[in-house]
Amino acid sequence: MTIENLLSASALPYEAPDFNGYQDDEFLPAVEEGIKRARKNIEKIRNNPSAPSFENTIVALEAAGEELSRVSSIYYNLYSAHTNDTLQALSQEIGPMTAAFSNDILLDGQLFDRVNLVYEQMDRLPLSTEEKTLLETTWLGFVRNGAKLGEKDQTRLREIDGELSKLSPLFSKNVLDATNAFELVIEDEADLSGLPESATEMAADDAAEHGYEGKWRFSLDMPSYIAFMSYADNRAYREKMWRAYTSRAMEGEHDNTDIVKKIISLRHERARLLGYDTHAAFVLERRMAKDTKTVMNFIDRTLEKALPKAKDDLKALADFAKKQDDIEALKPWDIMYYSEKTKKEVFDFDAEALRPYFELDKVLEGMFLHAQKLYNLDFKEAEEGRYSVYHPDVRVFEVWDRSDDSFKALYYLDFFPRPSKRAGAWMNVFRAQGLEDGEQKRPIVVNVCNFTKPTKTKPSLITHREAETMFHEFGHGLHAMLADVTYKSMSGPNGVLWDFVELPSQMNEQWLGEMETLETFAKHYETGEIIPQEMVDKIKETQTFMSGWQTLRQQSMSKLDMLLHSSDPSEIKDVVDFERKIMKEVELLPYEGGCLSTSFSHIFAGGYSAGYYSYMWAEVLDADAFEAFVEHGLYDAKTAEKFKTLLASGASEDPAVLYERFRGRKANEDALFRRKGLLEAEEAA
């Protein structure tokens, strides 16, 4: 395939990416060509003899880099979901190249003058709400990226952005390599005691794939790690797994400690150049929370609510471990194990007993039916060969609107772990909804996960938590699929303030705890029996189990993120020591080693720097929003239509306005505390 074809719209239906034709060595020249074409478009805008207008400047800028965006989206999706040495090496060239190009635009004084002239006329122009948002966002993009700086500071800003564009991919590579470097191979079947059949069968298949026939291989991939830590009776092996996981990229060949210090130092310097005290201050200016004080107050308030219950949670585990196994001192590698044991005894709840009711394909069918009932969508799996995929595991669905039989989106699903895929789960787009080549185009969306794989004797039977992740990422996907705006930068999650972006995903998880939803698909994979009501009741009963501990951990990570990005980096001599000072304030167990920062990909290789708090912030919104469905009916058409409108609006309007329009008021923080069982009886009343 030629670079021209790679950059051009695909001949496949709906211009879907043609992965069969892409060669790794074509991406660099394709990006170079994409930049060249975008520069020509920018030149036309800059040198336009007509007076600056919304159309000839703001809309023209929006469209200037369409071909570059197309090839970049394909490259970075492959980099995360199906990488190799070549793609990883290319990141060290493509990242700086695209960062430099972005700076060339945002630091172009002549271009900014045109944008500024239009911005100054905003109140006098006949613009829609979305157009005003696009204009303001464009102007802020220039200002917040150095358009008003002097030449010397702009030069330094370029250098910083170039360095950061190399460091984040390198951080991610080290985490992936450190994850893949560890394995626990078990030869004695007795050492598998406590592990469910699903985990041992998966480990046997994995061992065979890696040349350990007749043995069992466990790794740091989530399905393997969580199963082992939750059920393996062998405490020494649990410790070994825990230490490997918590020390990823902490030292040795894949050490990220210096990279962490470099990233936070460069981010701090960049913020100072732009006139902000810290990177956190810079980031939060464009968040619902607005400033560091508001975020820290929110974190501390949540920690205060969670701490008493977290202590009770831990005492219950310690008492159980003492009674059960005469464990004198609970260790971090005991938490997941004794949590499962305690749930089984106290609630008669066994998470593994749920697994037969969550066959992945059935969950998928139920998830699609859920979207049909809420948003009137149909999901039709494409015939083999109709679309190209980047790995045989990937499945493609066409999404249609049942009300008028119109095409809504292409939806790619990639479920299972492999060495070429980074850990975690995420949503991305190969193309966002909105104007492209002068036409309205529908989105091409992908969800990537790392779920329990099928074995030789069983289909993929996922845990309830994996099903929640599936619904979560689907919520992000729906945000993109239902988008109905004019401009791509305003579409779906694109451009949405970061502490609002998790609302659609976390909201979508909530239906998975309701019998009305579960009875449509949660059926035993062998007998077809619908999940018993008593099991669903137990899911609900256990919702607040360990919620204090989990909230404490989540918000301690948020606090670490905020303090890494609101402190003077020159004071962070040692990453581990700095982390320890923060975490020990909320830790209820003695430190046993490890470092979160060196594998904290959300903030060092993702978009969550000074923003990890947004998960809990959005939980306030989703807890409050879901109460509207509880009040009116889980699939109440009127409530669903109002929420669909919120999703369709993307970033075209202030998220606070969108939320209040849906709910009729601001979100009530107590909704979150109620759901987590963190309110005292008199507060909950």
Nearest to 415 by CA among 359, 337, 456: 359
The Cα-based distances of 338 to 183, 236, 315, 323, 678 in angstroms read 23, 15, 11, 11, 22
How far is Cα 58 from Cα 56, in angstroms, rounded to an integer?
A: 6
Helix, strand or coil, per DSSP, at residue 222: helix
Cα gap 650→490, rounded to integer Å: 6
Q: What is the pairing mode between strands 216-218 and 184-186? A: antiparallel
CA within 13 Å, CB half, 405: 0
Helix (H, G, I), strand (E, B) or coil at 395: strand
Which bin fits 51, alpha (ψ -120 to 50), beta or left (φ > 0)? Answer: beta
Amino acid letter, 451 = F
- Asked if 415 and 81 count as a contact pair (C-beta separation under 8 A), the reply is no
**What is the distance between the alpha carbons of residues 667 and 628, in angstroms, rounded to a whole number?**
11
DSSP SS3 for 3: helix
Q: How many C-alpha atoms does 322 have within 13 Å on its Cβ side?
A: 9
CB 667 within 8 A of CB 674: no
Residues contacting residue 237 through CB under 8 Å, at least 6 positions apart: 184, 186, 191, 228
Rounded to an integer, what distance in angstroms lies between the CA atom of residue 599 and that of residue 260? 10
* Angstrom distance (rounded) from CA 28 to CA 6: 11
Q: What is the identity of the amino acid at 268?
A: H
Say how many C-beta atoms besides its own lie within 10 A of residue 436's C-beta. 19
List alpha helices for 329-376, DSSP H: 335-346, 351-354, 360-375
Measured CA to CA, the distance from residue 272 to residue 589 in angstroms comes to 37
Question: Element (H or E) spanning 447, and its range?
Answer: strand 444-448
Catalytic residue IDs: 473
Q: What is the 3-state secondary structure (H, E, C) of 245-307?
A: HHCCCCCHHHCCHHHHHHHHHHHHHHHHHCCCCCHHHHHHCCCCCCCHHHHHHHHHHHHHHHH
236 to each of 85, 331, 333, how far by Cα in Å? Answer: 35, 11, 9
- Helix H or strand E segment including 616: helix 614-632
Classified as helix, coil or strand, 217 is strand
Residue with tokens 């975008």: 38
Extended beta strands in 617-678, E state: none
Alpha helices in 486-546 (DSSP H): 503-509, 515-518, 533-541
Contacts of 502 (CB under 8 A, 6+ apart): 614, 615, 617, 618, 619, 622
Q: What single string gives the DSSP state of each residue in 557-571? A: HHHHHHHHTTS-GGG
Eight-class DSSP state of 359? B
User: Parallel, antiparallel, or unpaired for β 377-381 and 395-401?
Assistant: antiparallel
